[in-house]
């Protein structure tokens, strides 16, 4: 039995820390030779939302007092996010855009759109709350204060005559929709002046007639079936070795799978309970090339290059 170690010195400088190359001291002839993963030590450091994954944008729409719709695209910085983090970032952008009120009594911000976890239904729940365009006096009498940057899309503070009621609208973008468990075509309703009625055939949408609060549970808009949130699309990653030919795998170089059982940023210490040997393609080699892949076989970006992998090589008569 022979072992080889790959570590950060073997990482190919492609900015993604996902390819390691091991150069043999001299050319090696493989014939009836097998290889297996003995151990992997690396940090759980690949993001669930990023520009490279293409799942970092969605949008919300604010309705002005005179009836103008303004859509704001939310671009999430690369990182590891729970649903609560996504909601916090959304509301930070609503603060920047002046789309909130201040509860003068409790000195806290009031938002009219939120994403929360509904653990009972294994879903992400979207709640939209009614915003009333009345006038400044009505806002103050209700115990609220307008933020200094309040923005409704019109000149002046509030329309002076006609009242407009609405719920902010949220729209999904492709791939982000999978994170929160909705169809890419999902769009919530503006519920202008309370005019929205949930479809009777969709049990994932409900409306409180007294408060005009509308709640949505993650679902597929076309099939009207549950669509589970996929908050971490790469809950496991694959190790692909170019020098093996596994006829039962696609791609044929799949060697092993890493599924973190630690918190993000913590050390993954994987020790295989039993060696699973794969036959190396017969031939003469100067190098082994190992790549980490996402679940969909795309490249995965690993932030921390501190990686140590032990591989075991055996001849057929040693197995």
- pLDDT tens digits, one per residue of 121-165: 999 999 999 988 766 666 766 778 888 888 766 555 555 445 678
Q: What is the pLDDT of residues 19-59, one digit of tens each?
A: 999 999 999 898 999 999 999 999 999 999 999 999 999 99
- Cβ atoms 213, 205 nearer than 8 A: no
180: alpha, beta or left? (left if phi > 0; alpha if psi -120 to 50) = alpha
pLDDT of 7: 98
Fold (topology level) of 2-46+234-318: Jelly Rolls (2.60.120)
Task: Give dist(CA 174, CA 117) in Å, integer.
Answer: 20
What pTM value is reported for the model? 0.90
Please determine, for residue 245, whether its predicted confidence score (pLDDT) is greater than 90. Answer: no
Please determine, for residue 301, whether its predicted confidence score (pLDDT) is greater than 70. Answer: yes
Two tokens, residue 74: 């939310």
195-216 in b/e form (b: 16+ CB < 10 A) is ebeeeeeeebbebeeeebbbbb
What residue spans define the domains of the chain?
2-46+234-318, 57-217
Cα distances from 259 to residues 119, 129, 219, 222, in angstroms, run 23, 39, 26, 32
Q: Span 252-276, mean pLDDT?
A: 94
Two tokens, residue 232: 């971490």
């Amino acid at each position: 039995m022979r072992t080889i170690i790959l570590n950060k010195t073997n990482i190919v400088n492609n900015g993604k820390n996902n390819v390691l190359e091991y150069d043999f001291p001299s050319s090696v002839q493989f014939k009836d030779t097998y290889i297996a993963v003995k151990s992997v030590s690396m940090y759980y450091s690949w993001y669930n939302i990023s520009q490279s994954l293409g799942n970092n944008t969605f949008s919300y729409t604010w309705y002005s007092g005179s009836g103008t719709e303004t859509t704001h695209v939310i671009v999430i910085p690369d990182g590891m996010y729970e649903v609560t983090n996504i909601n916090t970032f959304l509301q930070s952008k609503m603060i920047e855009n002046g789309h909130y009120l201040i509860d003068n009594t409790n000195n806290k911000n009031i938002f009219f759109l939120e994403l929360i976890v509904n653990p009972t239904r294994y879903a992400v729940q979207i709640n939209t709350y009614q915003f009333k365009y009345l006038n400044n006096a009505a806002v103050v009498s209700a115990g609220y204060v307008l933020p200094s940057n309040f923005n409704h899309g019109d000149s002046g503070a509030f329309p002076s005559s006609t009242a407009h009621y609405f719920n902010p609208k949220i729209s999904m973008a492709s791939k982000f929709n999978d994170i929160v468990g909705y169809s890419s075509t999902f769009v919530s309703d503006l519920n202008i002046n309370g005019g929205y009625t949930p479809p009777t055939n969709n049990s994932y949408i409900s409306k409180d007639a007294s408060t005009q609060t509308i709640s949505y549970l993650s679902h597929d808009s076309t099939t009207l079936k549950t669509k589970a949130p996929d908050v971490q699309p790469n809950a496991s990653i694959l190790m692909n070795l170019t020098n093996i030919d596994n006829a039962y795998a696609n791609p044929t170089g799949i060697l092993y799978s890493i599924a973190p059982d630690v918190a993000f940023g913590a050390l993954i210490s994987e020790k295989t309970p039993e060696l699973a040997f794969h036959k190396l393609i017969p031939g003469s080699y100067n190098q082994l090339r190992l790549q980490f892949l996402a679940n969909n076989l795309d490249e995965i970006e690993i932030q921390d290059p501190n990686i140590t992998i032990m591989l075991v090589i055996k001849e057929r008569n040693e197995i």
